[in-house]
Amino acid sequence: RRHEALAKRGEDHKIATVERSGYSVGERIIRPAQVII
C-alpha cells in the first residue's frame, strides 16, 4: 500500500519533468535513465 502511495506521488513529478527528462507513452512516462525492460 505504501508503494502505491509513493508511486502516485511520483506521477506529478514525472509529468512536470517529462518535457526535459523524457517523453510520455499513453499514460506512462519514459525517462531514458529509468528505462528497465
Range of the domain at 28: 2-34
Residue 28 φ then ψ, to 5°: -95, 150
pLDDT, mean of each 10-residue run, the chain (37 residues): 58 56 59 57
pLDDT at 20: 54
Cα dihedral sign for 23, 29, 31, 36?
negative
Number of structural domains (the chain) is 1
Residue 13 φ then ψ, to 5°: -65, -45
pLDDT at 14: 56
Q: Model-level pTM greater than 0.75? A: no
